[in-house]
Amino acid sequence: MTSRRYFATILLVICLALTTWLNFTPNVWALGGKLPELYQTAPEFTLPTNIEDGEISLSDYRGKWVVLYFYPKDFTSGCTIEAHRFQEDLPQYISRNTQILGVSADDIKSHTEFCDSEGLKFPLLADTDGTVSKAYGSWLRFLSLRHTFIIDPDGILQKIFLGVKPLIHSKEVLVSLDELQQS
């Protein structure tokens, strides 16, 4: 066995031992903190939004699938790409009875300008103090991390995406949504 392979094997064994010793699974913790548990009720929230009613609660979407995506900042390159991909695929989400909700620490004014500038037709929610981002393990000091959650029509968390790649993420979410809706 080469020294590189030996080192990799030892590292894997140590990681598995630590995981067992700490009694948690790798999906439970993310860079932003403790993630909500899969197959449990998703954390409820109410946040201000850039759309007409002014506030959105997760419970407003009972009976629909929800793609709840957290992102760092309006108008940044990765966030703009990710938002554009969700917007391009919006008709496919609508046909799957799915609502997209974007969340960041930006305020309503920024979200409104971002949506107007980029032609976004789905709600962006202002989590300015990070309360909701923290509840979803997606908060790092002063901004939301790039995480996505699929929540079923009964409000149960069905899928978590960490390490999101903005260019392909919407397509990945659609594939997962199809798998979840067929099961």
Secondary structure of residue 127 in the 3-state scheme:
coil
140, β-bridge pairs: 143
Alpha-carbon distance of 123 to 60, in angstroms, equals 13
Cα–Cα nearest to 125, from 53, 41, 25, 43: 53
The dihedrals phi and psi of 25, each to the nearest 5 degrees, come to: -95, 155
What's the alpha-carbon Rg for the chain, to the nearest Å? 18
Alpha-carbon distance of 84 to 119, in angstroms, equals 8
Q: Which residue has the tokens 């392909």?
A: 168
Catalytic residues: 79
